[in-house]
Structure 1
Amino acid sequence: MYERLAEKLKTTSAVKWFPGHGAEESWIAEVEEELGFLLPPSYRWWLIHYGDAGLGDGNILAIAAPEHREYYDGDLLYIHRLNLTEEWWVRRFPHRLDLFVPDSDELYFFDTSARDNQGEFPVMCYDLMNDLIDVYASTFAEFLERLIDERS
């Protein structure tokens, strides 16, 4: 199902990951339980097969082992919990789940209010300089392929 993406990941130098660092299914289930919804299928595939990865100037958020989650700023749930402490942020972006926060003027997040019939959330790009939000990709797999193409 994700053969094209897997092939790109084999040949790209834009994404750096460490084999054998994928998330366990039980970790993902625990995160989904706290979030109150299932993560998109392509992102789950990524988490299990690749897990933690650097992409240029940032990390794609992953799911850490539960015993490390409260100390790892690359963990999806850790960042989500931090975002929930900012009331103004929650009011403005109630359906935002951060995905990739590079060291630049943009951030990428799932819009959890817009699940498609395959269970995927669109990935949004928030241009911080211009305060604009646009759809960047319709799925996590498309998001990752587009970033690889742009940065290769």
Structure 2
Amino acid sequence: MYERLAEKLKTTSALKWFPGHGAEESWIGEAEEELGFCLPPSYRWWLVHYGNARLGGGNILAIAAPEHREYYDGDLLYIHRLNKAEEWWVDRFPHRLDLFVPDSDELYFFDTSTRDKQGEFPIMCYDLMNDLIDKYASTFAEFLERLIDERS
């Protein structure tokens, strides 16, 4: 199902990940329970098979082991909890689940207000300098492929 993406991951130098650090299903289930919804299928595939990655100056957020979640800033829930603690964030972005915050003037997030038939959330790009939000990809798999293509 994700063969094309897996092939790109084998050959790219833009994205760095550490084999053998995939998330366990129980960690994903705990995260989904806290979030109140299921994560998209292509992101779940990524979490189980790859689990982590660095691209440029940032981490593509992952699901860490529960015992590390409280202090690992590459964890999806850790960042989500920090964001939820900010009142302005909750008011302005009630359906935003951060995914990738590179060392630049943009960030990427799941728009959890809408899903396609496969259960995928669109990934949005937030241009912080211009305060603009645009759709970047329809699925997490498409998001990763586009990042690899743009930065390879």
TM normalised by structure 2 equals 0.99
Shift, 1:33, TM fit: 0.2
Shift, 1:61, TM fit: 0.1
Shift, 1:60, TM fit: 0.1
Shift, 1:81, TM fit: 0.3
- Equivalent-residue separation in structure 2 for 1:45 and 1:90 (angstroms): 28
Task: Tell me the SS of whatever aligns to 2:97.
Answer: strand
Task: Provide Cα deviations, 1:35-61, integer angstroms capped at 9, x if missing partner.
Answer: 000000000000000001101111100
For structure 1, the 5+ residue unaligned runs are none
Task: Tell me the SS of whatever aligns to 1:51.
Answer: coil
| Conservation of the 8 A alpha-carbon contact between 2:120 and 2:138 | yes
- The aligned length equals 152
| Conservation of the 8 A alpha-carbon contact between 2:56 and 2:103 | no
For structure 2, the 5+ residue unaligned runs are none
What RMSD in Å do the two structures reach over aligned CA positions? 0.4
- Equivalent-residue separation in structure 2 for 1:44 and 1:89 (angstroms): 25
Task: Provide Cα deviations, 1:88-129, integer angstroms capped at 9, x if missing partner.
Answer: 111000000000000100000000001111000000000000
- Equivalent-residue separation in structure 2 for 1:125 and 1:114 (angstroms): 16
Shift, 1:139, TM fit: 0.3
- Runs in 1 of length 4+ with deviation above 2 angstroms? none
| Conservation of the 8 A alpha-carbon contact between 2:21 and 2:52 | yes
TM normalised by structure 1 equals 0.99
Residue 127 of structure 2 is aligned to residue 98 of structure 1: no
- Equivalent-residue separation in structure 2 for 1:55 and 1:2 (angstroms): 20
Task: Tell me the SS of whatever aligns to 1:88.
Answer: helix
User: Which residue number in structure 1 is paired with residue 135 of structure 2?
Assistant: 135
